[in-house]
Amino acid sequence: MSFLKRLFGGGGSTPETGEAKPVGDAVEHKGFTIQPTPFPEGGQFQTCALITKDVDGERKEHRLVRADRFPSAEFAADQSIRKARQMIDEQGEKIFT
């Protein structure tokens, strides 16, 4: 992969490209499902999770991405779940608006 492509976002798996892969099992929190999907970035793994909930028969989703990076995918997944729980506790269904 060329240097310019990596520099301008053409490389790697990111949440924007839809290629982020689940790491670990999804967890339930207050009726929401949290699927951690940390992705490799700069030699580490960046905090990312998909938060979903069925609202009035429609599946709503929010992709949580934070700048935090960790040395392992598993540690990043744990932190992604922690951040997602915090967001759900603070905002509830407002995260979908």
Contact 72, 18 (CB under 8 A): no
Q: What percent of the chain has pLDDT over 70?
A: 79
Report how many domains make up the chain: 1
The model's pLDDT over 23-39, given as tens digits with 9 standing for 90+, comes to 999 999 999 999 999 99
The model's pLDDT over 44-82, given as tens digits with 9 standing for 90+, comes to 999 999 999 999 999 999 999 999 999 999 999 999 999
CATH for 36: 3.30.160
Rounded to a whole number of angstroms, the CA Rg of the chain reads: 14
The model's pLDDT over 2-23, given as tens digits with 9 standing for 90+, comes to 444 444 444 444 445 545 689 9
How many Cα neighbours within 13 Å face the side chain of 43? Answer: 0
pTM over 0.85: no
Tokens of 47: 């905090």
Q: 85: part of which helix (H) or strand (E)?
A: helix 73-91
Mean pLDDT over the full length of the chain: 86
Instruction: Provide the residue range defining the domain that includes 41.
Output: 3-96
3-state helix, strand, coil in the chain (%, to 5): 35, 35, 30
Q: How far is residue 9's CA from residue 69's CA, in Å, rounded to a whole number?
A: 17
